[in-house]
Structure 1
């Protein structure tokens, strides 16, 4: 509720210690607000109780304000670690289950009382209260005092009525009656009632005209938070309620949620609970007048002459679950309370069974002819009340909305004028413009520096996974389509990772560090999903393999040194590693030191040039980078960003998963079918690769495209057609995946996925442009140094395609 006070907020007749309830409440709230060690949180709900007294609350800060301050959030999430918790969550009134109890205007009796006493609103002019307990008498008396026409119908026999009878003075009331139906369509117009004899016989019915019905089947303690704390409940048959019994955490429940409904008693219990939590030896009694009307008779479904399997008597008003649904569930063989819950969906709505659960449990108990404790309760899950996603994400707005990860060399790049782009969750240097340069000029200069001298690139965002154990090689042999068992320590291999459907999932270079240890790299955006993929298979498919996989993405920074002069820049700093081509060939890995720092040095290249990837502990990344950068000055060393990296790799026909693949691409579609082992008995995706659709000749295959006018830069994502004279809609053959203006080739180049692409080499196709179509020739997807001589340090003048 928006303010503290619970049911006292609509109490008009009771007094506490001689004061009207409203005044007593106001004085209590004022005293609490003045205490420096008390924080009051109105408009706040505890929605979750977790381990170690972790309490989570949501505060509605500005929803009620017409013109809220821009500095205030709509909601605020509170997370509290409490030494002691006192739960005083009250109780929920139970509805009654009878035919047609879903008519508009049929509501809980206490809700009628709240409307009248707190808001001064009459829910109806002729109100019928139907009850099986004492508390509704107080609601009926308040409605009568407000000048409304009131009739009270009590399911209990006259002999069961206690002191609450005094509240019915001046009212028309019927005892020992049942409700057998309601009239009205868009609103209730009448309640059909009939007397019930001691033997269960139903007498002549009568219709009570009304425009509102207040029903009350007693009260159910709100034990949700207690149950979330993993506390155990106990059933009280005399009250037909579950109450907290055994606490698991430092918690105590008090008041109505503990099964105490008398006002004076629950106030005293609340005081004692607070004192005990505060480790104080204190007690206090309260005088409350008049006495709280107590006592009720649990009734599962009000008796009727009609066939119970044909009566629409609702238990759960939110999910439209009826009494006959529960009976049907039992006939269908569902006896567990959790199964019945799921079969019928009772208690599964946002109220988590607050109003419906006890009636449903009681009906299930009767149907199964088992005691209620044997039937048990369902699980009360958080949130206690619905919570917005906005409250849960809390501070995730503006820069915090999409968390950004910064590479170890981010500050250096920032200091040297880098323009950044977002790649997955990382903020990466896109290019390094010099004064007066736009992106295209900067990228052209960076590409030229790598091809002719040496470039330096921060590749730290690559995913890195340590795969360790005696079965590490066997594990990789199963998770990748190519072979790994015979890879020697100190050597690297490129691997494509497939999903079970045979489509490319990720890729990267894997180095064997030792017989039982591999250093696996993944794409920047794929690190988390690859690790989860590996863990999934280890835990569910191959639990017998002795393998551990550990993310080391943050532990290793990666500096890529690429270009014909890369070895000369690196050589003075390396200890314990022979950098000669014979001792350290392409696709090899060595361990040693650089500037005294441990390193895993990879001889790999994503540019097609002589290249090294220097893995060092993250804390040393900047010092190693700056030493290399200073040394490389005499060789014209140039830092380059992701855009240049994309151009260089595309010139060599190297793919980027997620850009040149779209989730429906196989290794053969990429021209990498030779990587798939034909000898291995099994690997992830093997069966799918043999399916007929995977072998069709018209599958989309990776090819190169060169615009015929040698000037047009094709757009990434542009669609490709074969014939411009075909009717609309045209048959699309594929799309452009990568497109760049290549300095080394002297013209724009593009990669594309094209239906039957390899069979179309030298064919002219047509690519959509903003103004029409551009003709393009299909070529192999390698545009530069097709023989791969440069990666071994054989430098030649760039040859244009």
Structure 2
């Protein structure tokens, strides 16, 4: 068969080798690539199917738009990125052809080219490459300044990116699951399977995941590996099936471990239907697994490095192990005349397999001076010429390699060798990505020039190639021991006697070279690529160092090496070595770039999962929600809660409805759904001591049946939350929190109980969902609820303000709080949630003759502001102390300790010039200030003005007949009566500083 090296692609299917590989010829599928029809086999990846059809030109590079082909056979692929189109709404860009499985009807398109893959206009960038060197964009687009918005940015954005993102809503469904296990094993190669077998036989709960469609790892291409007398691949399939049949094991294929987080929390993404022509109805496309494992075993293998030489990016040039995979697993030859360039024995194994399959391998170019091994001798015995101490100097062909020029690496005459493919190997890089994500510290193995797992931070262990272990038997022994040990460490009483497996064959992972080969980059016209996807060359790395980038992190950002979708899996170590060589430093001195999740790209759909549309955030509704809907309430979202905002009557807008509700509460009574308040039960002999440590207030002398307003601080002395606390018994307290603060306050309490105060005998229980809370506020509140209450004397003498009693209302148990957030006489009626709406309806009916009016959150905000009551998070901003908020009275005068007491003692928190909460009145009573508006002392000062405060709350108050506001102002307590100013775009608003209470300053209305 012959190839046209300029067109690059042939549609002939003759690259499929008879009797090679493991796919069934009878199971054929049809697919298209850029509109052309091809045939593949079930089990093919898109990459293997295209290679079988002689297609090597797959895409164009990001920067120079150079022709690119297939480099690898796995997740490390930087070049062969395609778009997959199921239909008009189902389009996914940047899919690695080496991972995407073909199915009947698959439609794939090339990316980053125009107007076509074969003729890309932007390939002119390759000719302009001397102008587009590393960091050029930092220097070029600085001037003229005005051109950035009008010229540079629009064109850069138009040219940026690889594939085309879909512009319609994703119609697919995604799933999400949480899972726990004793041992999680990442990677189902020989090491992972052996570790899983040993761990499972102890009885431990095991999850084994692998990104491939089946287990086996390197055993998919290793032709000489034998385990327990079987070919390695067959052993792997039988072992995987055996594990899947065990009740305590879950085997997840097509599943990538993309992130390793704190406390052995690992994120997995499972591809469920991307390989199906017609997915089963209702089946999700992908599933996100969030796994908490007691122990983790990393068996992630190693990634083969490419040789760095001139024009090493041409289609038809690929990694040696990839060529073996395509041949031994898929039955596909990567070419008919295949050259080899190497500094490692792996390429010899590939050359031998190709030669035995009938492929012409004319020469192996070995950079090493005197390679010596059984593989080298076997290659020579097969008639393959070995050129030791030689280097590839030049590549012929543009859209497909057609020849290579070879010469002695130390100088000498060159020769040209015709080839239609070139496989290469510079050695192997242990995959320490997940180990690094776990916050483990890698160590430099100087002898073999590689980074290996060093200091462990979490309960995990690395085994096999990712741990630098060489030899198949050694790998399996290490994995078996790790599997059993990790299972035992979880407390599992081992049922196994210790599994033993005999193995032979397999490749060596040590040796090779890092950095550029001789002749790569010395000539400024040579493009020897380090990072294929971002078009970073060896000379780019050297230039970055010359321009002052001496940290590898700076080199990375200046050149963009390792910043593409493959995250430098094949390029990082080469770039690091070249930088170290240029700096004349040891590699560890230069540093190592940070490995961050995700390990490979993860779709937004998998991350978002169910959390979209109405499920974007869980919606919480109070037990009385149906009544609010029936009475035409307009709702607002407060956190996850749906809360009634206001209740408009026919002909009313929001302002008229809110004004009516506010007046009704002051003159008669209002009913308000306060069920969203956080509620926490604090129980135990040390409950009062615990509260005294968490709040600024004293609690020991609070009597049973009494309430107290409490302020909670952070360690730094700033207000964290507030609420009313009721003492129900000597050892029991009912704590309320702000609606938005309930989860964090609960966490705050648990954190301190477990870490700082574990000696206290206390139990904390969230009861927010258990109680419906009905607030009845106003001068007629007592008259409305009195006929419904049983077993509680409501008189002021026996049930004064800030008291709590337990009894019944409407025959239902209640915790009745005499308290107010409006400044009027009021009650907060706590009843079991299931009875919330029934009790509300009964109270509403009882209140009709008295003018009882439902009111929403907007009226609640205005009513509390009229009384100067703060809302944490609105009138505080994380930098406000109790003193600033006028709450000094809430700090126990003789308390020796509480959370935040030392923070309050800091000089800056008691110094002059702090912002303090005050009231504001506009000189024009009809002008309502904007919340967040800045306040100045002199409106005529030069811009930028000195801001001395800001408005925190601002409303129109129908009860006051004017606008009111609260604000934080520098030295506000000393500015009473002073005139200040609020500059706005349409003019300056004059304001007067007042006290924060606008109605009933003496508090007489609280007693009715």
TM-score by length of 1: 0.70
Q: What per-residue deviation string (whole Å, max 9, x for no partner) do you get for residues 605-662 of structure 1? A: 0000110001111111011111111111111111110000001000000000111111
Whichever of the two has the greater Rg, that structure is 1
Query: For the residues of structure 1 that align with 2:473 and 2:976, how far apart are their CA atoms?
Result: 81
Select the residue among 717, 721, 724 that pairs with 2:932: 717
Give the SS at the match of 2:25.
Answer: helix
Deviates more, 1:349-358 or 1:455-464: 349-358
User: 1:688 aligned to 2:692?
Assistant: no
Q: Deviation of residue 452 (structure 1)?
A: 1.1
Distance 1:77 1:633 in 2: 54
Q: Secondary structure at the match of 1:550?
A: strand
Q: Please, which of 632, 635, 642 is the counterpart of residue 427 of structure 1? A: 642
Which is further off, 728-737 or 390-399?
A: 390-399
Residue of structure 1 in register with 2:345 after alignment: 132
Secondary structure of 1:488 counterpart: coil
- The residue aligned with 2:19 is 15
- The answer to whether the aligner puts 1:109 opposite 2:320 as a matched pair is yes
Segments of 5+ residues of structure 1 without an aligned counterpart are 1-8, 33-40, 82-86, 195-202, 251-257, 262-293, 307-313, 321-346, 360-379, 794-801
Paired residues in the alignment total: 659
**Are the counterparts in 2 of residues 562 and 605 from structure 1 also a CA contact under 8 Å?**
yes
Q: Secondary structure at the match of 1:242?
A: helix
Counterpart pick for 2:868 among 638, 653, 674: 653
Q: Distance in 2 between matches of 1:157 and 1:603?
A: 91
Residues 319-364 of structure 1: CA distance to partner in whole angstroms, max 9, x if unpaired? Answer: x9xxxxxxxxxxxxxxxxxxxxxxxxxx9999899989999xxxxx
The residue number in structure 2 matching 1:172 is: 385
Q: Sort the Cα spacing of 1:206 and 1:495 in 2 relative to 1 into closer, same or farther, 3 A.
A: farther
Name the counterpart of 1:77.
287
The Cα offsets for residues 226-279 of structure 1, whole Å up to 9 and x where unpaired, read as: x999999689864365235347699xxxxxxx9989xxxxxxxxxxxxxxxxxx
**C-alpha distance in structure 2 between counterparts of 1:422 and 1:661, whole Å:** 20
Whole-angstrom distance in 2 between the partners of 1:123 and 1:515: 88
149-158 or 471-480, which deviates more: 149-158
1:620 aligns with 2:624: no
Distance 1:427 1:596 in 2: 28
Q: 2-side partners of 1:25 and 1:220: how far apart?
A: 36
Deviations, residues 267-321 of structure 1 (Å, cap 9, x unaligned): xxxxxxxxxxxxxxxxxxxxxxxxxxx65445335699x9xxxxxxx99999x9x
SS in 1 for 2:898: coil
Q: Distance in 2 between matches of 1:173 and 1:317?
A: 28
Q: Per-residue deviation at 1:59?
A: 2.9
Q: Secondary structure at the match of 1:408?
A: coil
Deviations 1:453-479 (A, max 9, x none): 111100000011111111111111111
Conserved 8 A contact 1:140-1:150: no
Report if the CA contact (8 A) 1:99-1:181 is conserved. Answer: no
What SS does the corresponding residue of 1:510 show, helix, strand or coil? strand
Counterpart secondary structure, 2:860: helix
- Mapping of 1:131-210 within 5 angstroms? 131-133=344-346, 134-138=348-352, 141=355, 145=359, 151=365, 157=372, 159=374, 161=376, 168-169=382-383, 171-174=384-387
Q: Give the whole-Å Cα distance in 2 for the aligned partners of 1:524 and 1:354.
A: 47
User: In the aligned structure 1, how far is the partner of 2:776 from the partner of 2:678?
Assistant: 18
Matched, 1:239 2:472: yes
1:217–1:298 contact (8 Å) kept in structure 2: yes
Alpha-carbon spacing, 1:296–1:209, altered in 2? closer, same or farther (3 Å): farther
Of 723, 740, 746, the match for 1:508:
723
Correspondence for 1:475: 690
RMSD: 5.3
1:758 aligns with 2:977: no
Q: Which residue is 1:408 aligned to? A: 623
Determine the structure 2 residue equivalent to 1:214.
Answer: 424
What is the match of residue 168 of structure 2?
A: none
**1:115 Cα offset (Å):** 8.7
Q: CA deviation at 1:126?
A: 6.3
Is the 2:426–2:514 Cα contact (8 Å) retained in structure 1? Answer: no
User: What is the match of residue 374 of structure 1?
Assistant: none
Does residue 812 of structure 2 align to residue 597 of structure 1?
A: yes
Report the Cα distance in structure 2 between the residues aligned to 1:237 and 1:46, rounded to whole angstroms: 37
Q: For residue 696 of structure 2, give the secondary structure of its aligned residue in structure 1.
A: coil
Of residues 764, 771, 780 in structure 2, which corresponds to 1:565? 780
| Residue 701, structure 1, aligned to residue 916, structure 2 | yes
Where does residue 796 of structure 2 map in the other structure? 581
Going from structure 1 to structure 2, the CA distance change for 1:639 and 1:355 (only over 3 Å counts) comes to same
Q: Secondary structure at the match of 1:659?
A: coil
Report deviation, 1:769: 3.4
Equivalent residue, structure 1, for 2:62: none
**Aligned counterpart, 1:311:** none
Write the deviation string for residues 81-116 of structure 1: whole angstroms up to 9, x where unpaired: 9xxxxx9x99766448x9999986785213356799
- 2:267 matches 1:59: no
Distance (Å, rounded) in 2 between the aligned partners of 1:484 and 1:535: 19
User: What do the CA deviations read for 1:468-515 (whole angstroms, capped 9, x no partner)?
Assistant: 111111111111112111111111110111111111111100111111
Note the alpha carbon deviations across 1:9-60, whole angstroms, 9 max, x for none. 99843516xx98561665998799xxxxxxxx95899999852556554338
**Residues 230 and 711 (structure 1), Cα distance of their counterparts in 2 relative to 1, 3 Å cut:** closer
C-alpha separation between the residues in 1 aligned to 2:41 and 2:939?
79
* Distance in 2, Cα, partners of 1:126 & 1:384: 32
Q: Deviations over 1:667-708 (max 9, x none)?
A: 111111122223111111111212221122221111111111
CA separation in 2, counterparts of 1:45 and 1:431?
37
The within-5 A match list for 1:278-357 is 295-300=506-511
| Mapped contact 2:177–2:288 kept (Cα < 8 A) | no
Q: Which residue is equivalent to 1:643?
A: 858
Instruction: Give the 3-state SS of the residue equivalent to 1:496 in structure 2.
Output: strand
In the alignment, the residues of structure 1 paired with residue 428 and residue 950 of structure 2 have an alpha-carbon distance, to the nearest angstrom, of 67
Q: State the secondary structure of the residue aligned to 2:720.
A: strand
Which residue of structure 1 aligns with residue 822 of structure 2?
607
* Partner Cα separation in structure 2 for residue 205 and residue 682 of structure 1: 83
CA offset at residue 590 of structure 1?
Answer: 0.9
State whether residues 112 and 123 of structure 1, in contact with CA within 8 Å, keep that contact through their aligned partners in structure 2: no
The alpha-carbon deviation at position 555 of structure 1 amounts to: 0.8
- Counterpart-to-counterpart distance in 1, 2:851 and 2:177: 61
Counterpart Cα distance in 1 of 2:682 and 2:983: 45
1:788 corresponds to = 1003
Q: Is the 8 A contact 1:432 1:639 kept in 2?
A: yes
* Structure 1 residues 418-462: Cα deviation after superposition (integer angstroms, max 9, x where no partner): 000011111110000000100111011111111111111000000
Contact in 2 for aligned 1:63/1:74 (Cα 8 Å): no
CA separation of 1:711/1:606 partners in 2, compared to 1, >3 Å: closer, same or farther? same
Q: Deviations over 1:108-142 (max 9, x none)?
A: 21335679999998899965244314532147649
1:381 Cα deviation (Å)? 12
Q: 1:485 maps to what in 2?
A: 700
Q: Distance in 1 between matches of 2:282 and 2:413?
A: 57
Which residue of the other structure, out of 663, 673, 681, is the alignment partner of 1:458?
A: 673
**Residue 614 (structure 2) aligned to one of 372, 387, 399:** 399
The answer to whether the Cα contact below 8 Å between 1:48 and 1:383 also exists between their aligned partners in 2 is no
SS in 2 for 1:131: coil
User: TM-score if structure 2 supplies the norm length?
Assistant: 0.56
**Aligned in 2, Cα 1:22/1:547: closer, same or farther, shift over 3 Å?**
same
- Matches of 2:707 and 2:565 in 1, distance apart? 54
Q: Is 2:722–2:738's contact at 8 Å kept on the other side of the alignment?
A: yes
